[in-house]
Structure 1
Amino acid sequence: MGAVRSLRRLSRVALLGPAPRSGVPDAIEHVVQAHRAHHPGADVDALRRGYLLAESSHRGQRRKSGEPYITHPLAVTLILAQLGAEQTTLTASLLHDTVEDTEVTLAQVREEFGAEVAHLVDGVTKLEKVDYGEAAESETFRKMLLATGSDVRVMAIKLADRLHNMRTLSVMRPEKQVRIAKVTSDVLIPLAERLGVQALKRELEDLVFGILLPSEHARAQELVDTHRQGADPLTQVAAHVRSILREAQIDAQVLIRPRHVLSVHRLLRKRGELGPCDYGRLMILVSEDADCYAALGELHTCFVPVMSEFKDFVAAPKFNLYQSLHTAFADASGQVAEVLIRTGRMHRIAEAGVIALGDPDATQPAATPRPPGDGSAVGVGTGERTDEPVADSTRPGWLSRLLEWQSHASDPDTFWSELREELAEDREITVYCPDGGEDAARESSGVLSLPAGASCVDAAYARHGTAAHRCIGVRVNGRLTALNTVLRDADAVQLFLAPASAAATYAPAPEWLDHARTPAARLAIRQWLAAHPGPSDAEPVAATALSDPETRAADVPSGARPGSAAAVVRAPDSAADRTGAPEDTGPPNPPDASEELVTVSAQPAALGADSTAPGEPSGEPAGTEADAAVSEVVGSPDTAVRLANCCTPVPPDAVTGFEVHGGTVTVHRDSCHTAGSMAAAGGSTVSVRWLRHATGCQVTLLAEAFGRPQLLADLTETIAVQGAAVVSADVEPPREQRVRHTYTLRLPDATRLPALMRAMRRVPGVYDVSRAGRRLPAGG
């Protein structure tokens, strides 16, 4: 209400015209006082000249409310001054409607106030509807975003402008109120959140809430009014907290911060009913960052903390530079109070965001990135722009994304819908994704800012642009994963692209749209699909060539001998064979061939179907006499032994034996999931060892690769060169341009296994070769 009364005084003064007193017109005296509260001793000559030009150019114009038009730029400027904006922003806000609504030209503003003020005024000037028709609103926002890319103060002025318009929206027709409120909710409020201007965001939310949901707003407002009529129980809690912090010698202010109306409504929907302490929070302001944690420690020591409510935004600030410790505690009476702990500097940034920062992009050299937690990143800037272009490293990630994809959205409707969808994301993550790929010299720090919920598809297009059409695989945190994998904060992402020479062979699949969250990815995929209509869009040529068993047969080298992998490749028998990669239970790096074999085993035995151990899969080959030639039961060399088919152990794997029906012992790798299940079920374990003179072994290897012609031929040739005999082989249909080969091989010498695996990894397109283990059942 204080702001409203101030504006009414400004309106009365404006009606009487400027009356200089001590060099400052009466109409801007309140603005000057608010400005000097944040900037003592500031020179206000530019403000004086800006007001005089704005008042004279708007003279005779009135708003729909009947007030002189000059009251609007005055009110916008007062809002910004109260939040700590520097003089350049305030001068531009006084003039922000002159170019749009009066005879004043942008060249005149530039000549009288400089290029910086002219840039800000031009950024918030609307495009004419007569020139752009229905697209005028969306194109105005596009123009504003481009201007914000070089100076975020453009958006600060626009937010203050919209706040004052929302305050006076009641004079508009109801349908126009709803339309403006929806745009404010979908675009301006999310932008206020991203720029960290919480003071404007809260009031805008309440005003929009009252227009779009009037009955819910009235109910929440009634609850707030009823609560204010009685004594606030947080007053006593705050007094107790003050005494605790005083005894701990922590210099702090303890304030009660009332919830705004929409916040009360949200909490009511979440909890069903509100307690006496739910209408506000305690806010503790301290002088140093370390005092935040000291105060937190005292609260958690003296009260019962509600740990589910604890959040540390001091060590890990939000993407809009917001910093605070959030916690809640229950006092002796059982009342739960929520608490915010922050320094005075953190509080200024939390309330005013970029307005308190001036022009943060100009406060330090453009090439110097500023970590979110760096104290230098949140000091009040000088407000002076440099002639150097703003570097992406100093621009917020969300803003860089907007500026990147908007240039590809030529259709205003597409831009408008994508803008709303982008801004609907209320959280941001950071992933690490170096360029790599075709030009390793181009590798950078690879930090990508993406909206929460972004997938590997989004990371590919954010890093490589349209070259991501050739993305054929990805690792996340060192593990191969699908392109539709949703990324988490701090993930390390390694993208694989097909060579540029093969661009015509690879293409994005329509299914990628289901996993793309960012407008840049969606627009690029849609544009490619629109330019290449046809049923084959979903399957790149290289992948299609490997998805047909008959085509794979044609890939067999002409010199392949019977019994080789080329002769026995089969298509999967069922859908179950094609789901997921087998669990790799072996070591990440196979032992080198030079390692000593520490081994021993028993005599051959005829193994039938009844020799399967309890809990062990049946229905597969039961083993061969060669099994008994490589291992034996410790202390009982005559016991019949077989090597388990589920994990195919070979020297020098760590192994365990399990006694099965008929006295036979089945040997499993210690890391085998089946062995773990058998042990958990009470299976009888037997100590076994490898024979020192044992050499031959049978092993199943899983080769994962990017689909390409001649891959099968190259792999089988490599296996043959290493002297391995192929027992069976399986090639699964490609999924997302990746193909999986499974080989069961017999080696004449177990020590050659590491060399074989290394040789297979060197085959072009192969990115992993591992020991295959049996797949776990779903949910296992």
Structure 2
Amino acid sequence: MSAEATNPATPGPVVPTAAVRRKARPRIDLRRLGRAALLGNAARGKLPDAIGHVAEAHRAHYPDADLEPLRHAWVLAESSHRGQMRKSGEPYITHPLAVTLILAELGAETTTLTASLLHDTVEDTDVTLDQVREQFGEEVRYLVDGVTKLEKVDYGAAAEPETFRKMLVATGSDVRVMSIKLADRLHNMRTLGVMRPEKQARIAKVTRDVLIPLAERLGVQALKTELEDLVFAILHPEEYEHTRELIAANAARSGDPLAEIADEVRGVLREADIPAEVLIRPRHFVSVHRVSRKRGELRGADFGRLLVLVNEDADCYAVLGELHTCMTPVVSEFKDFIAVPKFNLYQSLHTAVARGDGQVAEVLIRTHQMHKVAEAGVVALGNPYTPAAGTPAGDTPAADADASADSPVDGERADPTRPGWLSRLLDWQKAAPDTDTFWSTLREDLAQDREITVYRPDGGSLGLPEGATCVDAAYAQYGEDAHACIGARVNGRLATLSTVLRDGDTVQLLMGQDPASEPSREWLEHAHTPAARIAIQRWLAAHPDRTEEPPAPVPSRPALDLTAPGSASGGAPRTASAMVVDRPGATVRLAGCCTPVPPDEVTGFAVRGGAVTVHRVECASVAHMKGTGRPEVAVSWGDSTACRVTLVAESFGRPHLLADLTEAMAQEGAEIVSATVEPPSQQRVRHTYTVELPDAARLPALMRAMRNVPGVYDVGRAQHQ
């Protein structure tokens, strides 16, 4: 059975969900509800007493909801699970009932609650998915199937990770699958005390590594915070007990500085005529533990935060202005998650105010709707798959009836049913057929709990984990086609693929034209995301004969000189009998500083020995000689089109680059007179080639062919000073 735990409490006090704390509702007596379930079903059409609490919580969010699907689901679930008992001795039906109550209090809509009541029937009873579809429809069948475990008899030790893979894939099409799973895990964690310590620890670790990060990403803070405390109690009992003592000692102190600051805030807002509700939000155990490690000895105001709830977005900023004007703000604590929401839908203003004795109170400012989303995340969206214009009355939350059409349209919030992090996760899991790789990579991926957004020149954006590099951006944008990436521009400037990106950067990825381009093994050192690492590792595994090749050439002297024996160096002037010069009998030479070729506009200058040196008119040497009063000599191109030119290629280092580049030049009919390759700098390599071309008109084609070599990002004419 999926819910193996029983009712005895875990070590230390159990912290209720935020939804329960807000309503000050006592913990439901599941034993009493279990006994009510065993007394039999209610008459047809009448809501059974056992789910009265669920109905009450549901109607608080959806006043006009049709409760018939819940009654029907209860009848099937109770009859199917009848006779099954939890290890605590309670009727098994108390588990799906408790899971459904958790979701109802968070504001889940009717379809989710219906599936929640039935979520263990297919796994633990004779009910089939076909029966669920026939009686409740395809949506409910999909949700139930999404949370149904795979059998150990079929999958062995891989059952748990493969079940999570199945759930994540299902969540990719309907986030309500994971909502039910999170509530299911919360109730099991609440009642884990009867299990053997080693099993408690195993379940707690999976909860810590997988379920809590998923709750954070889906924005379900009410579930996340309670799960954190329950895991803390099991895995760190001594630190948990110490934290409990800190909280108890603070509660026993006389006077509450946080309450006093709250009163002061209320006064400030009353004077400003801003309607607002000011609440004190006690920190949960893990939060207190983190703050104590960060700040050392805690003061009274450290054990909670102030929450200011207002009606409109503009009121949030009005509250902020009043607090910063009338009280002493701690400017370093200010964060605006309204203008720039977190990737998990969270919106709020964060600030802090200090009073004369040094007590500092953190303040959260948000609207009532923002607060609902902050607590329940995707659960607060109702049915995210129902278009706003056609949403039935029973599926529209009371607080959201008029706001549903105003949902944001920017970034990941435009499609909360398929957030960017989930799309990336689903993409890389396809490339990780090995269960162990999937399971370890999933935990590693979920441990990256902060995201950045980088922008593309075309106006699109990429969501990446903090610490991601240009390598990660390439694979996020192009998938395995990123093997052909040769470099990047970050904020308009050339950057190496190892460059770590920051939130808000603009990234242009430079792609080679060769479909057989190869990733470098070095890229693995810079790949931060599973998608990038898995794609690179797959390529390397499929091409073992390529993995031991040397990196791009690293010269052992200042520059690798490939000048042909007996040839002129790249900078030496060359006799040019094609030229027509206004000085009969003069020897004409092409300047090595700018290597003019037809049809460049040129000019000449007399030099010692009666020769004339020809320069391109934009050459820096021309301006210098004219500035010193040197007279110009008129020159023009003759009929011959052969030329010599010096080209500079800028590239990223990679194996075989030099061979590929010289081959491309040879195919264009260029004869290399000399070449130098400078030592790599930040993975970039500069090549200088002086070449002979039989026809100057072929120069543009030669430069295009050089640019098309993978790894080369720019080719230009030499411009020596």
TM-score tier after normalising by the smaller chain length: 0.7 to 0.9
**1:112-164 Cα shifts (integer Å, max 9, x gaps):** 00000000000000000000000000110010011100000000000000000
Q: How does 1:432-447 map to 2 (within 5 A)?
A: 432-433=455-456, 445-447=459-461
Normalized against structure 2, the TM-score is what? 0.77
* Alpha-carbon distance between aligned partners in 1 of 2:161 and 2:401, rounded to the nearest angstrom: 32
**1:280 aligned partner:** 304
Alpha-carbon displacement from aligned partner over 1:678-729 (angstroms, at most 9, x marks no partner): xxxxxxxxxxx95575889xxx9975235454646989999x99xxxx9x97
Higher normalized contact order (CA 8 Å, seq sep 6+, divided by chain length) = 2
Once the two structures are superposed, the pairs formed by residues 498-577 of structure 1 within 5 Å of their partners are 498-501=512-515, 503=516, 506-534=517-545, 536-537=546-547, 539=549, 544=552, 561-564=567-570
Find the counterpart in structure 1 of residue 228 from structure 2.
205
1:351-407 deviations in whole A, cap 9, x for unaligned? 000001134355479xxxxxxxxx99995699xxxxxxx998962111001111111
How far 1:290 sits from its partner (Å)? 1.0
- TM value normalised by structure 1: 0.71
Q: How does 1:180-259 map to 2 (within 5 A)?
A: 180-230=203-253, 231-259=255-283
Match of 2:324 in 1: 300
Closer, same or farther in 2 for the Cα pair 1:45/1:532, shift >3 Å? Answer: same
After superposition, the C-alpha distances for 1:464-503 in whole angstroms (9 at most, x for unaligned) are 11121222212111111111111112222222222244x0
Residues 357 and 381, structure 1, Cα contact 8 Å, conserved in 2: no
Partner SS for 1:24: coil
Deviation at 1:524, TM superposition (A): 1.2
Say which of 275, 279, 292 aligns to 1:268: 292
Judged with a 3 Å threshold, the aligned counterparts in structure 2 of structure 1 residues 557 and 146 are, in CA distance, closer, same or farther, namely farther
2:496 to 482, 488, 495: 482
Cα 1:142–1:292 change in 2 (3 A) is same
**Correspondence list, 1:681-696, <5 A:** 690-691=627-628
Q: Give the fraction of aligned pairs with identical amino acids, expressed as a percent.
A: 64
Structure 2 residues without counterparts, runs of 5 or longer: 1-15, 17-24, 390-398, 407-412, 574-599, 602-618, 634-645, 691-698
Tell me how large the CA RMSD over aligned residues is: 4.3
Q: Distance in 2 between matches of 1:717 and 1:104?
A: 71
Asked if structure 1 preserves the Cα contact closer than 8 Å seen for 2:510 and 2:713, the reply is no
Q: Which residue of 1 aligns with 2:36?
A: 13
> Which residue identity is paired with 2:537?
R
2:665–2:705 Cα contact (<8 Å) kept? no
Alpha-carbon distance in 2 for matches of 1:220, 1:378 = 43
Q: Tell me the alpha carbon deviations over residues 175-211 of structure 1, each in whole angstroms, 9 at most, x when there is no partner.
A: 0000000000000000000000000000000000000
Q: Structure 1 residues 538, 475: CA separation in 2 closer, same or farther (over 3 Å shift)?
A: farther
**Matched residues in 1 for 2:86 and 2:719: separation?**
76
> 1:496-535: CA deviations, max 9, x gaps?
222244x0xx32222211211111111111111112224x
Q: Report what 2:650 is aligned to.
A: 704
Structure-to-structure mapping, 1:417-456, within 5 angstroms: 417-433=440-456, 445-456=459-470
Paired with 1:461 and 1:767, the residues of 2 have a C-alpha distance of 19
- For residues 75-117 of structure 1, give each alpha carbon's deviation from its aligned partner in whole angstroms, at most 9, with x where no partner exists: 0000000000000000000000000000000000000000000
**Match for residue 362 of structure 2 among 315, 338, 347:** 338
Alpha carbons of structure 1 residues 433 and 394: separation in structure 2 relative to 1, 3 Å:
farther
C-alpha contact 1:702 1:741 (8 A) present in aligned 2: yes
Q: Which amino acid aligns with 1:417?
A: S
Unmatched segments (≥5 aa) in structure 1: 366-374, 383-389, 435-443, 568-592, 595-647, 654-688, 745-755, 775-780
1:608-627 pair list within 5 angstroms: none
Q: Secondary structure at the match of 2:504?
A: coil
Return the offset for 1:759. Answer: 10
- Answering whether residue 62 of structure 2 is matched by residue 44 of structure 1, we say no
Counterparts of 1:341-360 in structure 2, within 5 Å, are 341-360=365-384
Contact preservation (8 Å) 1:317, 1:323: yes
Conserved in 1, the CA contact under 8 Å of 2:77 and 2:117? Answer: yes
Q: Deviation per CA, 1:640-674, whole angstroms, max 9, x where unpaired?
A: xxxxxxxx986879xxxxxxxxxxxxxxxxxxxxx
Alignment-mate amino acid for residue 741 of structure 1: H
Distance 1:73 1:180, change over 3 A: same
| Residue identity matched to 1:278 | D
Task: Provide the aligned length of Structure 1 versus Structure 2.
Answer: 619
Q: Is the Cα–Cα contact under 8 Å of residues 303 and 330 in structure 1 kept in the other structure?
A: yes
Q: Distance in 2 between matches of 1:451 and 1:360?
A: 25
Per-residue CA deviation, residues 239-282 of structure 1 (Å, 9 max, x unaligned), is 11111011111111111000000000000001111011000000
Matched residue SS, 1:329: strand
Of 510, 518, 532 in structure 2, the residue corresponding to residue 496 of structure 1 is 510
2:695 aligns to what?
Answer: none
Q: Which moved more, 1:286-295 or 1:222-231?
A: 222-231
Hey, what's the Cα distance between the residues in 1 that align with 2:572 and 2:309? 73
From the superposition, tell whether residues 119 and 549 of structure 1 become closer, same or farther in structure 2 (CA, over 3 Å). same
Whether contact under 8 Å (1:565, 1:729) holds in the other structure is no
**Corresponding position of 1:56:** 79
Deviation at 1:332, TM superposition (A): 3.2
Q: Please state if 1:461 is matched with 2:475.
A: yes
Task: Assess, with a 3 A threshold, how the Cα gap between structure 1 residues 95 and 180 changes in structure 2: closer, same or farther.
Answer: same
Q: How far 1:547 sits from its partner (Å)?
A: 5.6
Aligned to 2:145: 122
Contact between 2:175 and 2:418, CA under 8 Å: does it hold in 1?
no
The separation in 1 between residues aligned to 2:703 and 2:386, in whole angstroms, is 53
CA–CA separation in structure 2 for the residues paired with 1:704 and 1:561: 24
1:28-47 superposed Cα distances (whole Å, 9 cap, x missing partner): 00000000001112110000
**Distance of 2:400 and 2:564 partners within structure 1:** 64
Distance 1:109 1:345 in 2: 34
| Cα distance in 1 between the residues matched to 2:540 and 2:309 | 54
Q: Distance in 1 between matches of 2:632 and 2:340?
A: 55
2:345 is matched with which residue: 321, 324, 331? 321
